[in-house]
Amino acid sequence: MSLRAIRTELGLKMTQPVSDESMATLGAQLGLHGIDRRKFMQYSATITAMLALPPAFAPQVAAALTAVDKPTLVWLNFQDCAGNSEALLRARDPDVATIILDLLSVDYMEVVMTASGHQAEAAKDAAVARGGHIVVVEGSIPLKDDGIYCAIGGKSAVQIIGEATKGAAAVLAIGTCATYGGLPAAKPNPTGAVGVEGLVNGVPVINIPTCPANADNITAVIAHYLTFKTLPPVDDIGRPLFAFGDRIHDNCPRRGHFDAGQFALEFGDEGHREGWCLYKLGCKGPSTFANCPSQQYNGHTNWPIGVGAPCVGCSEPDFWDTMTPIYDRLPRIAGMDASLTADRVGTLAVTALATGLVVHGASKISSHKRAAAGHAAKQTQE
C-alpha cells in the first residue's frame, strides 16, 4: 500500500488518481502531476541544500530519485500517540515532496492499514522476508517485566523489533519517544521505556526526534538514502546533522530581542504581543538543537515560537525530566558562560555575549561544513 492509497482511504484530497503500475518510479509520475523538469530540479536543489551537500550534487539527487524503484517500508508503532504518523500522512509540502513519499511501498502500518489481526501480521512477515526494507519505529519500547507493557500479536515490542530488522536496509527512529524514550521514559519510567538505538544490531539507525518529527526531515533522510544508499551524517546522539546541527536559539527570529534584553514576562503582555524573546516564559531554544525555525510545520506555515509558545526542547534526550516545568525558564543557558542568565542579558549581551555566540556559531558551522564536505567527498569517490 502506498501513502497515496492510505491518504485516499482517509478522504484526504489527492491531485489525481493513478494506478499502482504508474507509481513505480518518480520519473513516471512527474507528468501525471503536472510537474515540469524545472520545478523538479528546484526541489532537488532544495533537498540538496537541506542535506548540506554541495550544489553540484543536485543533479545526482534528481537522477537517483527519478530512477528509484519503490522500497518497502515497515512502520512499527509501540508506546506512542501516533502523532508522527499523523504528521507524515498529512504532510503538506507541495507536489514533489508528496510524490517522494508515494515512492514508498508501505506494506505494514497498523495505524491506518485495512488488514488486522493475522492478516496484518502476515503482511509484515512477508515484507520482512523479502529483505532490503526500511523499518520505521514510532514510540518507545518497554523493557521492564519482559516488555509486557507493549505487545502486538502475542509478541513484545523488543521481539518485534528484533524480527522486523533482520535483513533491513535501515532503521528510522521517528519522534522523541522512539529516539530517546520520550514521555514514557520520564521518571520514574514505570515501563522501563527506551529508544530504538541499542536494540538493533547490524543495521544502521538514525534518530529523527521532535514531537512530532517534522515530515520535511523524514522526507530528506529518505531522499538521501534513495540517492546514496546510505543515511546522512549524524551528530553524537544519532540525529542527522542537516536537521539538528544548529541550536534553535541561534536561528530564532526573536534572537535580536534576547540580545537586547527584551523579554516577554507574561503571556499576553506588551512584550509577548510585540514578539519579544520567550526565554523567561520557559523557552528552551538556547538548549535545543533542531531546524524548526527554518522548516516549521504544517507546510512551512508556522512553529511554536512563531505563535508565541516557548520551545519545550522536545528534540533533546530526557527533555521531559531536564526541561520542565514547561513555562519556567532554564537557570542557565547551554553553551554560554555559567554565570550568565537572562537577567544579566542586555548591554552586556550586545557586546561580550554576542561575540561569544558568534564564535560558537562560526565554530559549529565550520565543523558541520567539514562533516558535509567529508561526506560529499566520500560519495564522489564511491
Residue with cell 523567561: 280
CA torsion sign for 83, 86, 87, 88 is positive
- Measured distance CA(245)–CA(232) in Å, rounded: 12
Q: For residue 380, give every residue at least 6 positions away whose Cβ sits within 8 Å of its Cβ, in sequence order, or none.
A: none
Q: For residue 256, give every residue at least 6 positions away whose Cβ sits within 8 Å of its Cβ, in sequence order, or none.
A: none
| pLDDT tens column, 148-163 | 999 999 999 999 999 9
- Measured distance CA(87)–CA(73) in Å, rounded: 17
Stated as kind and residue range, the H or E segment containing 137 is strand 134-138
Buried b (16+ CB within 10 A) or exposed e, 191-224: bbbbbbbebbeeeebbbbbbbbbbbbbbbbbbbb
**Where do the domains of the chain lie, and which CATH numbers do they carry?**
3-242 (3.40.50.700), 248-362 (4.10.480.10)
Find, among 216, 218, 178, the residue nearest to 297 by Cα.
Answer: 216
Under a CB-based contact definition with an 8 Å cutoff, are residues 50 and 242 in contact?
A: yes
Residue with cell 539538528: 244
Under a CB-based contact definition with an 8 Å cutoff, are residues 134 and 71 in contact?
A: yes
CA torsion sign for 107, 2, 170, 312 is negative
- Measured distance CA(259)–CA(257) in Å, rounded: 5
pLDDT tens string, the chain, 382 residues long: the values are: 444 544 444 444 433 333 444 444 555 555 565 666 666 666 666 666 666 566 666 676 666 666 556 678 899 999 999 999 888 776 665 443 454 456 677 889 888 788 889 999 999 999 999 999 999 999 999 999 999 999 999 999 999 999 999 999 999 999 999 999 999 999 999 999 999 998 999 999 999 999 999 988 888 888 788 778 889 999 999 999 999 999 999 999 999 999 999 999 999 999 999 999 999 999 999 999 999 999 898 878 899 999 999 999 999 999 999 898 889 877 655 554 434 454 454 334 334 334 444 444 444 444 444 444 554 454 444 4
Global confidence as pTM: 0.74
Determine if the peptide bond prior to 304 is cis (ω within 30°): no
Pairing of strands 170-174, 134-138: parallel
- Measured distance CA(33)–CA(47) in Å, rounded: 19
Find, among 204, 180, 260, 233, the residue nearest to 373 by Cα.
Answer: 233
Q: How many CA atoms lie within 13 A of 347 on its CB side?
A: 0
Q: At how many degrees (to 10) do helices 37-50 and 215-228 cross?
A: 100
Residue with cell 542557565: 332
Q: What is the pLDDT of residue 87?
A: 82
* Nine-digit cell string for 32: 501525471
CA torsion sign for 100, 102, 106, 111 is positive
